[in-house]
Chain A
Amino acid sequence: MNCRRAERRLLRRHDERLSPAEEARLGLHLRSCPKCREAESEYRLLFGALSSPQDSRPEPMFWQRLEAAIAESERENGWASVRRWCRRAVPAALAVTAALLAVLLLFSPAPRTELSSSESLLLSNDNPLEETRTLLEEKRVEDRNMMLIFASSGDSTWPR
């Protein structure tokens, strides 16, 4: 066993992680190696120093101070939640409003517009040429004149 391996095993023995066989081999090495015996005694002092109790304890009223800090933190967290909620809610509200406006624009009825006389004739499926021909083919002059008068006044209720 070399000294580096022996040092590893010294430390594993301190942690109680060495098998009996390994411990026996380490013991043999230590008997024959003054350098490793020195390391063993130095580590013993080191562990003794590290595990010695520290002269420190929590300051008085530890829980009372912690409870106050918890309350403070929860208040801050409460406000932070509101702020976070607002940050999310504002864009969402804007998006919903925009969507509603778009729907209104798309599906609102078109405004009523005044139709020209020819548009009215076309939409009411009247045939102005047919009407004119009927008017001109009228045999009696009086009737034709009357029909012309009514046609020019736009009254379509002329009895035919």
Chain B
Amino acid sequence: MEEQELIRRSQEGDRQAFAALVRKYQTKVHSLAYGFTRNDAQADDLAQDIFLKAWLGLPRFEAKSSFGTWLYRIAVNRLKDHLRRKASSREVPLEEAGLEAAARALPADDAEAREREQRTALVRECLSGLPEKFRMILTLRDIEGLPYGELSRALGLSAGTVDSRLFRARKMLRDRVRSRLAGERRTP
């Protein structure tokens, strides 16, 4: 069934049609939430909440943007809210998501894969330490791969602001990764 038809039927209260939409987007939404929590259970709770908000908001959805963009917008707002609530506490203990976990998960002889995983863990850890607005735009663009137009609509920003914010976010992430690596080299 076409997505438009699924949306129309969901707006009329057809839960099975909505279930089809959920199946289509649940991995993306979960992955987005996981990018912020680094915790499957929390990401799952957030994804549930995002879809629940989408269901309740569906009667007001006017198809001015695509359903995916609209859903991302709901997700962005929910995740911002989540980050604000958690702002004072560190979301992910280093042991859980950092280098040690990545190293433990891999066989010792696979040195290249091990290094790649360690680097990925380090980059994601540095990402989780960025200010919310930079973390959000990087997650949507460089992890989720949203096109510029969709990114602009999901965040409610002009194309120029998206461009400059993305530049600053990437530069900031690069600087943090560099300084972390430099710190690790100093203390082996």
Contacts and interface: CB of A to CB of B under 8 A. Distances in A.
Interface of A: 7-8, 11, 15, 17, 39, 42-43, 45-52, 54, 56-59, 62-63, 65-67, 69-70, 73, 77
B76 interface: no
B interface, size bucket: 35 or more
B166 interface: yes
A42 B180 CA distance: 13
A42 B174 contact: yes
A138 to B, nearest CB: 96
Nearest to B55: A70
B11 interface: no
Q: Which of A43, A49, A67 has the most CB of B within 10 A?
A: A49
Contacts of B55: 70, 73
Contacts of B122: 49
B142 A58 contact: no
* Chief secondary structure at chain A's binding surface: helix
B26 interface: yes
Interface in B110-164: 116, 119-120, 122-124, 127, 138, 142-143, 145, 148
A56 to B, nearest CB: 4
Interface string B87-129: 0000000000000000000000000000010011011100100
B132 to A, nearest CB: 17
Given A49-B116, A63-B19, 17 more contacts: A39-B174, A42-B174, A45-B123, A46-B123, A49-B120, A49-B122, A54-B143, A56-B30, A56-B31, A58-B26, A58-B30, A58-B44, A62-B26, A66-B48, A66-B52, A67-B15, A77-B56
